[in-house]
Structure 1
């Protein structure tokens, strides 16, 4: 099954992430590539383990529990198989703390998810599964701390397109023993068929995925990737979906990449989310409302990590067509100013505002999919219309909803301002650091504007991570030309890098939060080369960016899983 009547031509870029072009006026195309195992490595052996071909993973850590995941490759035509699991405090399993038993059943595609309870806070554990005497690879995970916490160190990733490039960045993250977790901001899989968006590796199935069987097969292919398996084995994952886990530019009632002949949108979403919950180490927030996936994590008194669902639960349809192209340019007028249009939805928006206002943590991190900062092709203060925008799928296309977030950050006569908010964003296949101002082209701070030299007027900051493999503006000259066009219109954007793939590393303590951008040298082939790009920080209480240095590795981290 799959696409019954129509296969689209090869894409040269996605409609939205196909981002900036080298033409004189414009924002247009993003591109990239796919990945495989390093022959002879332990991970390559893991990938062909007969009973556990899809590795092991952990996720959604809390202070006393964590999700443990695997998938059992069915044998002998059985519809279910008994699976045992063991949790220990050491990789040799001499300090066993818990054992248990579950079942891998056909109805869940033989995936197994254990919510391992009764664990200790801020503790590294090792776990493994066994079936019929065959033992899985060993995984490593960590619970969240409680009370006073001195430091959080985590990797942030997004946009892992198997067809478009090797997941070398996942491998580099797996090698970092001092991380508390990995945060994935969406586009963990892509829905396109063969040669529709990347052609380095062939997707499974080769058609665009639409049915439950399709989505399961695509997740299975991603979980066989050895670099993905390495990352999952070493660190717990906190993940939120963006659009490609269902279909490009999705919203409540449809998607740009859902056409007639592909069935009902609700059925496609149901299939995509069933496969997602089966194949990802995440909890179901509400079984009766699977689209509701917003949740939060307390990292002691240091960080509240708030993960936002921005696609399927409350988002109004995007306005305009040809998002990301010149014909899709828009100004903030007409329907764009309709306060009824939602990005989060009313219930999630209220939940977020309450979380922000009641948080007692030093830092409030918002993990979310689409860029929050304004990105303009022509700049102007709000009093003169605000300028010209090009991406109506991002928060720029939902300005009244964004304004409501700013009202919470600024506070009021009855509500205190909310400080130390750091927005973590994926989606756009490029790297950005932004001061967040409601009126960045107005130089008068006294009237709600922003001083580009001092950063005064900024209410929060945003760190945007590049992709694991999905395409950016990979021609350096073209990228430089695009940046030169964007910079004058966007004084609040302090860093833009369009032509590199990789990940962000976040290091936070009570005095500052630092973001480092790390880049791999290629996604066109297997490589172990990475380089430090740059770092920015926000100091406690400043709500604006300043340059930073690379942070040191943690001393004496727990051993990686063997």
Structure 2
């Protein structure tokens, strides 16, 4: 949709193309066909030294309200700020204004829930501390009634110290996204080794703190370091955010009562660490918080076109993880095994039943569609193992050897056991909710660091919906996990091994822009050539589309 120019918005023409920084030991970027040359602003700088150096943000938009955010730096005591919201960038038509307290107890961050707004309206906002004025942010309220188009950007997995946030730079500059969905791993709590910190220093992206996060102050410092990045500040300034956490905002491999990345014997109370991480998340993200800070699942209605249900598949309800042997023994198939938890499941069922929107959209963390691969490949992820299985698949039944028949008869296992494949009963319950109301289901996912698109079928083979899983902003994918497997071969192999997988890219960083209309949903994958250099190019990958209605729930390239 058309938008007014916003002061400070990233424009390719304003960028210095002479800067170039490489990760220690990394090669140069790869050109991607016909591309748009861009350069990003990058991280570092002195954001913490400027009064409003960490920028402004907006989030959780509704038809009549939106959250606006900032942080007042260098405070020795709590300070009252002024805020203004206008219909123009010069603030000659101010429609709302007020004051808000920047409290040291909340890391000097401020969130205002601005109410009484008009639907489907672009607003501009800013904060003041006396004569000091923040930069201007742009936001937009949600539409009501008949809506012809909604376009959402989907992002996940942004590790600050291993690459530039070019993905955010590109998305902020395009100007046609109604909101940015942050599906988790917005920050990483992990620490760096001395060698990793040295590599991060080469590209100006050292971790702070260097070690793993445990305390409230440490989590706050990590958010400060992330928001020293101008490209992250740019996307926050230019569109409303709708976010949920994954595991790394808190601790790796998170579940309801613990985490694989937390050892109480050496790291203390899990509950205390979780509380610190959740507090810092809400302080730095433009979320609308309720009485329970652990409850982050909520819904957003874009008129009669899209109902977006943001889920928590990590903290609130997930059962303990299982390993390879337990999976093969059938532990994943326990009918009571929980991914969302009973309360969140009941909330989702009620929301799907009550909504009359054309598209029912789940914004959530981990890959939803089935990604089960042959056990021989899982145990020995190599080209030889993959080729042996594919050769057996391609051999006519009458000509197959006993060894080939054994390969095809072997068990399958989810390639990533933290995904929905380890919670099949919970997945069936979600699909049954959509089927009960004949809903057009679209699942948006993150976490895997790679790009995937699925047709979604239930256990009976009925088409239920489609899934678009976004690649990561910077985090490395299967190309690093399996470096001896050729990249193109790796992606093609997944497409052959996994039924209903319609697209795979296992090597590039990027995001997915999802466009909804009354008749179709289209996912357009966008990739950047490198996150190791300041200069980058962006290229649009394939677009996959499904039609509304029972006969159209199948992805096709367009």
CA contact (8 A) 1:377 1:485 kept: no
Verify the 8 A CA contact 2:40 2:166 in the aligned structure 1. Answer: no
Higher mean alpha-carbon deviation, 351-360 vs 155-164, is at 351-360
Helix, strand or coil at the partner of 1:519: strand
Deviation string, structure 1 residues 156-198 (Cα, Å, up to 9, x no partner): 1111110121100100111021221111111100001123978
**1:388 to 2:413 alignment:** yes
Q: Is the 8 A contact 1:46 1:55 kept in 2?
A: no
Residue of structure 1 in register with 2:155 after alignment: 157
Match of 1:350 among 317, 333, 346: 346
Instruction: For structure 2, list consecutive stretches of 5 or more residues without a partner in the other structure.
Output: 1-38, 376-392, 394-408
Indicate which of 485, 489, 500 corresponds to 2:508.
500
d(CA) in 2 for partners of 1:331, 1:313: 22
Q: Which one of 537, 540, 552 corresponds to residue 529 of structure 1?
A: 537
| Alignment partners' CA distance in 2, 1:532 and 1:49 | 37
SS in 2 for 1:218: helix
Q: Does 1:397 align with 2:461?
A: no
- Structure 1: runs of 5+ lacking an equivalent: 1-35, 321-327, 412-416, 440-447, 450-456, 550-562
Give the match's secondary structure for 1:545. Answer: coil
Give the CA deviation at 1:493: 0.2
Which deviates more from structure 2 when the two are superposed, residues 111-120 or residues 538-547?
A: 538-547
Task: Answer yes or no: is the 8 Å Cα contact 1:378–1:387 preserved in 2.
Answer: yes
Contact 2:45 2:228 survives alignment (8 Å): no
- Work out the CA distance in 2 between the residues paired with 1:391 and 1:330: 14
| Whole-angstrom distance in 1 between the partners of 2:65 and 2:44 | 29
Partner Cα separation in structure 2 for residue 263 and residue 495 of structure 1: 43
**8 Å contact kept, 1:124–1:141:** yes
Q: For 1:251 and 1:497, how far apart are their aligned partners in 2?
A: 28
Offset from partner CA, 1:86-127 (integer Å, 9 cap, x none): 111011111111111111111111000000111110000001
Q: Do structure 1's residue 135 and structure 2's residue 139 form an aligned pair?
A: no
Distance in 1, matches of 2:435 and 2:95, equals 47
Aligned to 2:387: none
SS state at 1:219 partner? helix
Instruction: Give a deviation string over 1:57-113, Cα, whole Å, max 9, x none.
Output: 0000001110000000024xx211121111110111111111111111111110000
CA distance in 1, matches of 2:273, 2:48: 31
In structure 2, the partner of 1:38 is 41
Question: Counterparts in 2 of 1:171-320, with a 5 A limit?
Answer: 171-195=169-193, 199-200=199-200, 201-259=205-263, 260-284=265-289, 286-287=290-291, 289-320=292-323
Q: Deviations 1:13-53 (Å, cap 9, x if unpaired)?
A: xxxxxxxxxxxxxxxxxxxxxxx9638xxx99994761011
Distance across 2 between alignment mates of 1:405 and 1:216: 35
Q: Answer with 420-429 or 188-197: which moved more.
A: 188-197
> Does the alignment pair 1:428 with 2:448?
yes
Task: Give the secondary-structure state (helix, strand or coil) at the position aligned to 2:223.
Answer: helix
In structure 2, the CA distance between the partners of 1:106 and 1:488, relative to structure 1 (3 Å rule), is same
8 Å contact 2:250–2:277 — kept in the other structure?
A: yes
Aligned residue for 2:463?
Answer: 458
Structure 1 distance, partners of 2:88, 2:271, is: 45
User: What does residue range 66-105 of structure 1 map to in structure 2 within 5 Å?
Assistant: 66-75=66-75, 78-105=76-103
Partner of residue 406, structure 1: 431
1:528, distance to aligned residue in structure 2 (A): 4.3
1:55: which partner in 2?
Answer: 55
SS of 1:163 mapped into structure 2:
helix
- Does the aligned pair in 2 maintain the 1:331–1:385 contact within 8 Å? no
Structure-2 residue corresponding to 1:546: 555
Match of 1:442 in 2: none
Corresponding residue of 2:336: 340
**Maintained 8 Å contact 1:52/1:71:** yes
CA distance in 2: counterparts of 1:409 and 1:385, whole angstroms: 32
Aligned positions of 1:438-449 closer than 5 A: 438-439=458-459, 448-449=460-461
Aligned length: 478
After TM superposition, the score normalised by the length of structure 1 is: 0.81
The alpha-carbon distance between structure 1 residues 240 and 152, as it changes in their structure 2 partners (threshold 3 A), is same
Which deviates more from structure 2 when the two are superposed, residues 64-73 or residues 477-486?
Answer: 477-486
For 1:113 and 1:468, the matched residues in 2 are separated by: 26
Q: Distance in 2 between matches of 1:245 and 1:418?
A: 35
Q: 1: CA distance between counterparts of 2:234 and 2:112?
A: 20
CA distance in 2, matches of 1:302, 1:548: 22
Which protein is richer in helix relative to its size?
Answer: 2
Contact 2:245–2:312, Cα closer than 8 Å, also in 1:
yes
The Cα of 1:500 is off from its aligned counterpart by 0.6
SS at match of 2:275: helix
For the 8 Å contact 1:149–1:302, the answer to whether it is kept is yes
Q: How far apart are the structure 1 equivalents of 2:128 and 2:304?
A: 37
1:120 aligns with 2:129: no
Distance across 2 between alignment mates of 1:536 and 1:49: 45
Change (3 A) 1:290 1:386: farther
* Counterpart mapping for 1:104-115 below 5 A: 104-115=102-113
Could you tell me which residue of structure 1 aligns to residue 522 of structure 2? 514
Q: Which moved more, 1:482-491 or 1:66-75?
A: 482-491
Contact 2:40/2:169 (<8 A) preserved:
no
Tell me how far 1:337 sits from its aligned partner: 1.7
Q: What's the CA shift for 1:317?
A: 0.7
